[in-house]
Structure 1
Amino acid sequence: MLLKSIDTIVYQWIGLDPESRFAAAVHFFLYDTVKIFLLLAVMIFAIGVIRTWLPEHKLKKWMGAGGVWANVIAALFGAITPFCSCSSIPIFISLLKAGVPLGVTFSFLITSPIINEYLVILMASEFGVPITIAYVASGLLIGILAGVILGRMKLERHLETDIIESAHNDDQIIEYTFGKRIKFGIDEAASVIRSIWLWVIVGVAIGAFIHNYVPQDTIHSLMEATGIFSVPLATILGVPMYGSCAAIVPIAVVLFEKGIPLGTALAFMMAMAALSLPEAIMLRRTMRLPLIAIFFGITTIAIIATGYLLNALSQYL
């Protein structure tokens, strides 16, 4: 029904030539934009309602216990929070203030932007469920392992001394009625869509352009030129960039369809989501440069390794 409606708008109401590239690009843009926003509204509402049953005060207590299990809890907590890398930093600081070990807080900081509900929804609709599951599993694994490694390195000495004073912590326990749960889901969906709608539109527009105007031979030539180094190159290119995965998912889908290996496209997504220059600048207010460099370095290596692994497994996904 949605496809027929878009056909009517593009080819009858606007009157574009169905055989032209421009018409195909407009059709791609309108169809994907409407589909994405519909999926986001419904799924984020449902996930928001489910989140009202998650005891965040208990999650903090479990994370404060330390050990690998605490890293797992922190990574899962990061996966259910709809934050970008910069938005995750206030909670990262709050966890430190609450006494959560540094390595455990890093598991949250890494996983939170890599995995969130709107990214999972977009990926499932564009890449399919098997690839989405592989991406989520990879993101969790990166967060857990990197957090464990950073925790074992005993890097607390590199934290700024005033971090406790500059942080804030709210352990208020909220009791939800059925009506409050529904309202929370509606507010969550509205809040997320308000924060990412522009990124969705930009990402789909770029994807529509690439899909209809960039020849597949050009993509293949670029991949052949970089060869085995395509994964680290894609990761390094993603690090200095900053943007929402709502924008990069449609682009990554088109690049994958044009011939870029799956792991390479997803490594670029992960690097762009989890590591950025604005994030480094914000982190400088809580930690010294050596710790920021170590955090970025370990996470980058983990993303590159995951990209190679996903490229090897892509034939089975």
Structure 2
Amino acid sequence: MKFWQFLQDQILGMKWLNALIGNGLEAMGIDTGGRIGGSIQFFVYDVLKITVLLCVLIFLISYLQSFFPPERSRRILGRFHGIGANVVSALLGTVTPFCSCSSIPLFMGFTSAGLPLGVTFSFLISSPMVDLGSLVLLMSIFGARVAVVYVVLGLAIAVIGGTVIEKLHMEREVEAFILSARSGELEVPRQSWRERVSYAKEQMLGTFQKVFPYILVGVGVGAVIHNWIPERWIETILGGDNPFGVILATVVGIPMYADIFGTIPVAEALLAKGALLGTVLAFMMAVTTLSLPSLVMLRKAVKPRLLALFIAICTAGIVAVGYVFNTIPFLT
């Protein structure tokens, strides 16, 4: 138990870094107990912490992802049928890119390759919602129990959503150019460990360059919430006194665009100010899974009816997860 607490607080949460930054700021004459000093400490600490976790996680997951290029993933998925294929597809989604916009090209490639539509949608739902990075980052803030349950419920949404789409036979709702672009068999290149390391390094640097601006914005918003917005405001809007807080957080999160790294500091600040855990997690899921840019991209591949069904399934699942976390004391 002490080991897991140490892992969460000092390795993943890097509380030692927070204390170090606080001591450094105070040595410079900055009052970290005040709003301005507290905001500076929150900003520096969260930017450094998330940057370190971002680089380490992306490097490790990209190295793992090098074993599952699109063609190999397609072959793996092609061996399974029924709900088993949806489960495997959702699990494969955990080792793919971190944001929904990056997942859509893979979804389009899988669909063009002739994989069942429900299977490809299970992948599309799980990829941004429950990747391995989200598991580690959630552990750093909320603990292992919350992180594991979050991932399990996210995978359940992906499997159920893909199964529903498969049962409704929505193939006609896919744009014709996707269905006509059937790809043939491609040779999966063998890579040495040096090539895999080089690939992981390139992915890390490329993703960092794209994600870092969102980290700065997310941490900045989190610092404002943490030190400037009165606690009673957050409790009134997103606390236990508002039964519609989960729905509100989901609706607010959908138009935004960020990934798990940009939403973590906002979620952390909201939770510290009295927002319910399920409400915060629903906000994070909505931002990472149903961002407006990703929906615009997805509309190019599917027709409005299928797009609306995808949004409805994800929204219903996210709201359900939020209320599960808010109503079960074991999870808080």
Please report the TM-score for the alignment, with normalisation by the length of structure 1.
0.91
Aligned CA distance change for structure 1 residues 131 and 246 (closer, same or farther; 3 Å): same
Q: Which amino acid aligns with 1:248?
A: T
Distance apart, 1:131 and its partner CA: 1.4
Alignment partners' CA distance in 1, 2:264 and 2:311: 22
Q: Which amino acid aligns with 1:157?
A: R
Match of 1:236 among 247, 251, 269: 251
SS of equivalent to 2:243: helix
Report the counterpart of residue 13 of structure 2 in structure 1.
Answer: none
Aligned CA distance change for structure 1 residues 203 and 55 (closer, same or farther; 3 Å): closer
Task: Give a deviation string over 1:38-74, Cα, whole Å, max 9, x none.
Answer: 2222232223323334465343123234311111111
Matches within 5 A, 1:70-89: 70-89=85-104
Report the counterpart of residue 67 of structure 1 in structure 2.
Answer: 82
Aligned CA distance change for structure 1 residues 56 and 162 (closer, same or farther; 3 Å): closer
Flag as ranges the 4+ runs of structure 1 deviating above 4 A: 165-170
SS of equivalent to 1:86: helix
Alignment partners' CA distance in 1, 2:57 and 2:98: 16
Match of 1:304 among 319, 324, 327: 319
- Answer whether contact 2:91 2:155 (CA < 8 A) is retained: yes
How high is the sequence identity, in percent, across the aligned residues? Answer: 37
Report the counterpart of residue 119 of structure 1 in structure 2.
Answer: 134
1:193 and 2:211 correspond:
no
Match of 1:180 among 195, 214, 218: 195
Alignment partners' CA distance in 2, 1:179 and 1:221: 54
Distance apart, 1:225 and its partner CA: 8.8
Q: Which amino acid aligns with 2:44?
A: L
Match of 2:66 among 34, 49, 52: 52
Q: Which amino acid aligns with 1:28?
A: F
Alignment partners' CA distance in 1, 2:182 and 2:22: 52
SS of equivalent to 2:176: coil
1:28 and 2:42 correspond:
yes
SS of equivalent to 1:162: helix
Alignment partners' CA distance in 2, 1:56 and 1:292: 23
Q: Which amino acid aligns with 1:66?
A: H
Report the counterpart of residue 309 of structure 2 in structure 1.
Answer: 294
- Answer whether contact 1:83 1:112 (CA < 8 A) is retained: yes
Q: Which amino acid aligns with 1:57?
A: E
Aligned CA distance change for structure 1 residues 102 and 298 (closer, same or farther; 3 Å): same
Name the Cα RMSD after superposition.
Answer: 2.3
Alignment partners' CA distance in 2, 1:187 and 1:50: 14
Match of 1:282 among 297, 307, 311: 297
Distance apart, 1:106 and its partner CA: 0.6
Report the counterpart of residue 264 of structure 1 in structure 2.
Answer: 279
- Answer whether contact 1:263 1:308 (CA < 8 A) is retained: yes
Report the counterpart of residue 216 of structure 1 in structure 2.
Answer: 231
Alignment partners' CA distance in 2, 1:3 and 1:301: 37
For these two proteins, the number of residue pairs brought into alignment is 316
Q: Which amino acid aligns with 2:265?
A: P
Alignment partners' CA distance in 1, 2:195 and 2:71: 18
SS of equivalent to 1:240: coil
Distance apart, 1:98 and its partner CA: 0.8
Report the counterpart of residue 106 of structure 1 in structure 2.
Answer: 121
Match of 1:151 among 134, 159, 166: 166
- Answer whether contact 1:119 1:245 (CA < 8 A) is retained: yes
SS of equivalent to 1:88: helix
- Answer whether contact 1:94 1:169 (CA < 8 A) is retained: no
